A = this chain, B = another copy of it.
Amino acid sequence: MARIVVKFGGTSVATVERIRQAAAHVKREVDAGNEVAVVVSAMAGKTNELVGWVEEASPFHDAREYDAIVASGEQVTAGLMAIVLSHMGIESRSFAGWQVPIKTDDAHGAARITEIDPSELDKRMKARWVPVITGFQGVAPSGRITTLGRGGSDTSAVAVAAAVRADRCDIYTDVDGVYTTDPRIVPRARRLSKVSFEEMLEMASLGAKVLMIRSVEMAMAHGVRLCVRSTFDDAGAPQLAPDGTPGVPGTLVCDEEEIMEKQIVSGITLARGEAKITLRGVTDKPGVAASVFGTLADQNIVVDMIVQNISEDGGTTDITFTVPDSEYDKAIRAIEGARGTIAFERLSGSKGGAKISVIGVGMRSHAGVASSMFKALADKGINIQLITTSEIRTSVLIDDEYAELAVRALHTYYGLDKKDS
């Protein structure tokens, strides 16, 4: 017997028929003797419809009204899911965020959960009821409805799981797990049966859109084991516990300690549309980097990779960074406009870079991953433009033309290809 919080995303509840399909997964868990709570997103497309009306009503709208309007989407799904579960013979009722209550701060549109009172949910689950909770929302100290920002339903699910001390949180979505890389680029990409929170964080922020980074951070902080699964898998098929044994549907995101055989490299990610900008002959004195990136931050331009070399002659240095292609022109204008405060000789750059990252907790204990990566790329004649690293990740910027070739080469090089079946 386990206590499980299951979460269904927008595509999993897009129609009543899909809600039924999702509910079959809940029924399977209930029938297996588990205590289950459900967290739901709005039906796919509904949030966009609501946001569209808000924008049409006024481009400058009160965030509190935005929240009251947009939060209605999950209210509908929660009610429908409760009805469908009841129809299957499972005792169920819906809870809006304010009814639980899921308390948040008052940062409307991007609220943070401050406290969840687990008592009502706990009571229901012990009595074998299945509470269905609206994701993405809560209630501010003022009593008004808040939303957590896009993708916030994952965060709601993890927070509820932490509050009710669930054994795991199952995130049902339209993919069946976390892959070693994008299967559209590498058909031999493998589903990972387990991946650590740290690796998942790197993957989430680097282009694998399976889980919202914020929910992974919260899961790591509270030790909530996450299982990523597909709603569209047959709910009636034999299910194995997601403990890493072969044939298990889904990917378990958990503590590194739970993963016995650590891969040196767990995944390769690709992020396209990265523009690089280089400032040459920057006067090398304290505070110069702060000036450059402060200027960009003032314009709300998010900078990704940053590289600064030690200055050759002690007088000037070069700084290179990347921004999304769409922000390139704005960034160039911002830097040019700040010539008065930032002393540099030349500004150059180009759009259309691709960032390839190799990720794995094994890197901590295995030297030479970075150098082997550079060699693998060199063997294919791929030029590396920029390099950045973290403890469990090495990223390079290359010409976009070589992006797929690079991902496939590295995927094979690190032994991630699926065996022929």
Closest chain B residue to A77, Cβ basis: B69
Interface residue count on the A side (C-beta < 8 Å): 38
Contact A57 B80 (CB under 8 A): yes
Is A217 in the interface zone, CB < 8 Å from B?
no
Complexed CA–CA distance, A161 and B274 (Å) = 58
Contact A86 B72 (CB under 8 A): no
Residues of B within 8 A of A99 (CB): 143-144
Contact A87 B58 (CB under 8 A): yes
Residues of B within 8 A of A75 (CB): 68-69, 71-72, 75
Secondary structure dominating the interface of A: helix
Chain copies in complex: 2
Contact with B along A252-278 (1 / 0, CB 8 A): 000000000000000000000000000
Tell me the A392-407 residues at the B interface (CB within 8 Å).
Answer: none
Residues of B within 8 A of A66 (CB): 79, 83
Closest chain B residue to A139, Cβ basis: B99
Known: A93-B65, A143-B99. A54 touches B83 (CB 8 A): yes
| Minimal beta-carbon separation of A89 from chain B (angstroms) | 11
Tell me the A62-84 residues at the B interface (CB within 8 Å).
Answer: 62, 64-66, 68-69, 71-73, 75-76, 78-80, 82-84
Residues of B within 8 A of A94 (CB): 65, 68
Is A53 in the interface zone, CB < 8 Å from B?
yes
Counting chain B CB atoms within 10 Å of each CB, which of A20, A50, A58, A98 scores highest? A58
Complexed CA–CA distance, A53 and B57 (Å) = 27
Contact of A69 among B58, B69, B80 (CB under 8 A): B80
List residues of A whose CB falls within 8 A of some B CB.
16, 19-20, 50, 53-54, 56-58, 60-62, 64-66, 68-69, 71-73, 75-76, 78-80, 82-84, 86-87, 93-94, 96, 98-99, 143-145
Q: A16-B56, A69-B79 are in contact. List 12 more A-B contacts (CB 8 A).
A: A16-B57, A50-B76, A57-B84, A57-B87, A60-B87, A65-B82, A68-B75, A68-B79, A68-B96, A71-B75, A72-B75, A99-B143
